[in-house]
Amino acid sequence: MTVDRIAACSAPRLLVSAAHKSSGKTTVSLGLAAAWAAGGLVVQCFKKGPDYIDPMWLALASGRPCHNLDPHLSAPEAIRQRVASASGGADLALVEGNKGLHDGLSLDGSDSNAALARMLGAPVLLVLDARGMTRGVAPLILGMQAFDRDVRIAGVVLNRVGGARHEAKLRAVIEHYTDVPVLGAVAEDRRLALAERHLGLLPCAEHASAAAWVADVAKLVGAQVDLARMRTLALPAPAADLADLSPPVHRLHGARLRIGVARDRAFGFYYADDLEALRAGGAQLVFIDTLHDQRLPALDGLFIGGGFPETCLDALEDNPALRGALREAIRAGLPTYAECGGLMLLARSIRWRERTAEMVGVIPGDAVMHERPVGRGYVQLAETAAMPWPASAGVPGPVTVRGHEFHHASLEGLPAGQRFAWRVQRGHGIDGRNDGLVVHNLLASFSHLRHGAGAMWVDRFLAHVAEVRARAHAWVDVRSADGAAGQGENASPSRAAKDGRLRLVSARASAA
């Protein structure tokens, strides 16, 4: 690697953590990223753990895709390489932790925020929820320091401070009993609150004025913290992390594959590195708005990620043209991968809060929302003979993959005899025993996979798409523009092919 390349990837690093969850570290992280970006710095954000919503907000704040870092699913070398490569050209790498500094699944803390900070050589900025605290803040900080001496707590930000007098007391205690500098005190302010619901924060795609709110947070947080001093506390990447930044090798699949990706207010749960892996594997991503698009473009494959289809029931049901196009395409063999919300879209219906809406109907079951989570946490899945995707080169079977799930929905009314790509070894999946329903060339699961972090799903999915295409066909929707699109709602595949609304065309013709 050249000296210039190493320098380009050695952005100073800072990890934002807290004593416990719901301390305000996301708000502080957003404020810092947006304030630094507004000041002309290039900020690369990262989020620890399996999370889709926080990264959306961090990407909006920084203006760059936010990448997830998951010590439970990824090897340390992969995490270090991801941070170093994604930080190319950045002035600062900002990592937002999850839960508390020392929280994690492992008893030894190997998957904690503290372990991630050690792994990356990143100092920690500790966000403390100061409500109801005065002198007790000192032993809290001292305990955090003493629990792991290899983690450097570079400073604290006091959050939700009750006023100038409260702030003065906290600062005096911290300065007297500890050697940790106070780098800011953010006052209790309703303008900094972001709405939450059953899966966490409200996604920025559903916020009426997301960009304006982030700009306000940048001003409010930026005015109450020492941005310049925080930046000087961030440390450059360890030299070992920059030793080998060769990009991962992806198997290319011949002619460029057109992969549809549903991305709109209802569906937005995608990892940045998954989309990068799809492109690196030779895919051209074609984004689809399931709420407004009336037809499918020419596609070789389709990826429908998670999201909140239950909050968009009216808009989804009121788009029968696209639902019909999806149904006909999948029934006729369009290779499709659907995760969680995508599975719900392809079911017969979704029921939520006394409301039932008709969906695509390719999956012979109904998605039913519940008040409490049905499945939540990491999953481990053992592959079955029903898996439609070809095996990875050099990987002998049977294959076990790891991922995560977080869903309040169950899939009900499935007839007996369904085929499943995975048996659930840990987690819930579709029914507590199985996940990855296989219908035609569709694989639909409640589990989320991440390429290179517990599963090499992108290479296998693209290989599957390439095989289907080689057997001949890419999809193109040739609906006429005369308003007849909705006629496909109840049409059979044979009738659709006969009347020309959906027609199979050769891959060569599609590419042309």
Distance CA 72, CA 111 (A): 6
Residue 66 catalytic? no
Distance CA 348, CA 361 (A): 4
Contact 328, 498 (CB under 8 A): no
* DSSP track, 151-190: S-EEEEEEEEE--HHHHHHHHHHHHHH-SPPEEEEEEP-G
Nearest to 307 by CA among 268, 274, 346, 349: 268
Task: Determine the Cα angle at 43 with ends 40 and 45, to 5°.
Answer: 155
Contact 189, 163 (CB under 8 A): no
**Element holding 495 (H helix, E strand):** helix 493-499
Contact 375, 357 (CB under 8 A): no
Token readout for 54 is 């926080």
Sign of CA dihedral 247, 248, 249, 252: negative
- What's at 487, amino acid-wise? Q
* DSSP track, 35-57: HHHHTT--EEEEEESS-SHHHHH
- State the catalytic residue, choosing from 9, 45, 204, 340: 340
Return the bridge partners of 476, or none.
Answer: 503
Contact 448, 306 (CB under 8 A): yes
Distance CA 366, CA 344 (A): 8
Contact 192, 185 (CB under 8 A): no
* Gyration radius from the chain CA atoms: 24
Nearest to 339 by CA among 381, 370, 297, 372: 381
Catalytic positions are 340
